[in-house]
Chains A and B, each alone.
Chain A
Amino acid sequence: MYRYDDFDHRFIDERVAQYRDQVRRRLAGQLTEDEFRPLRLMNGLYLQLHAYMLRIAIPYGMLNSAKLRKLAHIMRKYDRGYGHFTTRTNLQLHWIKLEETPDILAELASVEMHSIQTSGNSFRNTTTDPFAGAAADEIEDPRPYAEIIRQWATLHPEFSFLPRKFKIAICASKEDRAAVKMHDLGLYLHKNEAGEVGFEVVVGGGLGRTPYLAQTIKKFVPRRDILSYIEACLRVYNRYGRRDNLWKARIKILVNSLGAAKYAEEVEQEWLASDREAIALPDSYVAEMASAFAPPEYDRRPVDEASLQQAIAADPAFARWVKNNVHPHKVAGHAIVTISLKEVGKTGGDISADQMDLVADLADELSYGEARVAYEQNMVLPHVRRDALYGLWKRLDAAGLGTSNKGLVTDIICCPGLDYCGLATARSIPVAQRIAKHMAAKEDEIGPFAIKMSGCINACGHHHLGHIGLLGVDKNGEEVYQITLGGDAGHNAAIGSILGPAVKSDDVPAAIDTLIGVYMKLRQDGEQFPDTYRRVGQAPFKEALYAPR
């Protein structure tokens, strides 16, 4: 993990001191709310329905045990003993007191964390594969590049007041586990025929009111030039992006109004005219950054695979967890573990302070001190010996963290919705809870399935990318849910299509059941929902849901 140097420490400490003075002046009446709002937002502090909300940055979703314990401590001391992971892999605390926020930021700084640029029209958290550095299908560890981008993009003077927020994601494996194509700018790491590392650059993705998938504008940018190429992309956006209309300000609107080819042409001109050497990435610099993400000294002693197989055979609940939540690791004898934060009936993405402390202990004991956050609002232990899995699962399960539903129908991505969020128009969490309860008994039979739900058009719950997406809206004072079908977040990314009239809140679980029933009836061997949907189209689903009974 990247460790702060003296400059980083000094910078963050100075920032906390500045913010402490800003809060003091606000509470003393020397700053109005209009004057203070942009200052608090620059530090990730929002004012929501019930309290202030602090959004803490978790760069590319990477945590270690010290950070986990500090977050647990902050959740206990300053909040209500729990936090909520977001689809940007950040952590939100929903019950924060303004007067305590300077102390919280000081506590975060002590473990090299902050909440800078978790709001505002600037670069947001760069995300990547939660399995980075461990995945069996990885070409190269994407985290050094994510960290290089983070450092370059933090308080970048030219890009601190973009037309709108800007999100970057990196994928460096065969499977896209970072939903790259829904980002303002996405990078797919490739190696060319000469074995050189570079990036395919995709631009103009985004969800919200006008969803688009990002389009490729350059097939291969050598890694040496990637920062200057991103800079050129940003400069063209900064120059031509719409600042007159909030709803048309994201880069997706620019790219799709100009056309990707024309946008690419503008970027190329800007790039060729720029001082590319000024921010070139020499191999030595990349190597130095990569050393911060060096793999752990793996325990290479022989793994007792026989005892693992015995446990799998003897304990069906454990076997189910291994099937769904344990993933291949690039080092023999090890596995990647998804810790589901989607216990049926609970709030998806929430974690208590006690659970966070347990994850810290387990990370120390079994995963070389490391843990990750996935954009699906789950956690990951990236390096677990296979013969430790059974003991790990039993401890997770005893703490409500042993749910075996990674990638299944109850593993629902869900924004906080109207229960917390000032922007929401309808609730998400209670509806997701009801869907999960309704569908849980069938989830093994259904197999992989992605339901994603947002409580407003801003789409923090990625509803456009759900196999079934749900968008909550207020219709004359009643919560109703618009259903989309056919979304997909991976390499074959797709935006879902609206199925028909919105469904009343009480009717949502039955509607989901009906739609999935159609899928199960029509699917052919080996098909998952996107395959079936592409083959049969929308008609049978529409017929089943809306036909007069």
Chain B
Amino acid sequence: MQIVTGNRLRDGAVIYFAGAGEWTPFIDKALAAEDDHANALLAEAQVGPVPLPAVGPMLIEVRREGDHLRPVTLRERIRASGPTTGPMAGHTALDANKAASGVDDYSI
């Protein structure tokens, strides 16, 4: 299963494609596609207003765990939930995606 992510143009925050031209910092609101349809999802995400709200849209692998989407790779878990070096108040993605790391103590 894959979703589309990028960094928000104006501030670089991690965002996810939610479909219908919308992007969200909440990973659980991302539109997921099975692998066969992933490229079509990426193509859909790349169409929209100019400039596109996201820089560098790309597909990432996720797993569904209960109500949550959890990235497969460590890199994407860190992008979703913030640095593992300690609590980071104000991190957009961290506030949005506490479940993405799968743990509470930031030690992914």
Contacts and interface: CB of A to CB of B under 8 A. Distances in A.
Asked if A and B are interacting partners, one says yes
Interface string B68-98: 0000111100110011111011110100000
Interface residues of A, number: 28
Contacts of A99: 10-11
Interface stretch (A14-22, A25-33, A199-207, A483-491): A25-33
Contact of A433 (B7, B85, B93): B85
A51 B11 contact: yes
Contacts of B90: 80
Given A47-B55, A429-B85, A52 B12 contact: yes
Given A29-B50, A50-B79, A97 B12 contact: yes
B66 interface: no
A418 B12 contact: no
A452 B11 CA distance: 32
Interface string A48-91: 11111000000000000000000000000000100000000000
A96 interface: yes
Contact of A50 (B9, B10, B12, B49): B12
A347 B85 contact: yes
A27 B78 contact: no
Interface string B55-74: 11000000000000000111
A479 interface: yes
A345 to B, nearest CB: 9
Contact of B14 (A27, A50, A97): A50
A80 B10 CA distance: 17
A430 B84 contact: yes
A136 to B, nearest CB: 37
Contact of A33 (B12, B13, B56, B83): B56
Most buried by B among A26, A32, A49: A49
Nearest to A347: B85
A304 B82 CA distance: 50
A420 interface: yes
Contacts of A429: 83-85
Contacts of B89: 80
B56 A50 contact: no
Contact of B51 (A27, A49, A80, A474): A27
Given A47-B55, A47-B56, A429-B85, A418 B11 contact: no
Interface string A484-512: 00000000000000000000000000000
Interface string A92-111: 00001111000000000000
Given A49-B78, A49-B79, A419-B84, A29 B51 contact: yes
B83 A419 contact: yes
A427 interface: yes
B78 A51 contact: no
B84 A98 contact: no
Given A27-B51, A477-B73, 13 more contacts: A27-B10, A29-B51, A49-B14, A51-B7, A52-B12, A96-B12, A347-B85, A347-B86, A420-B83, A429-B84, A430-B107, A474-B74, A477-B72
9 contacts: A29-B49, A50-B13, A50-B91, A80-B88, A80-B89, A96-B12, A430-B84, A430-B85, A474-B74
Q: Which 4 pairs, one residue from A and one from B, show the smallest C-beta to C-beta distance? A: A51-B12, A419-B83, A97-B11, A29-B50
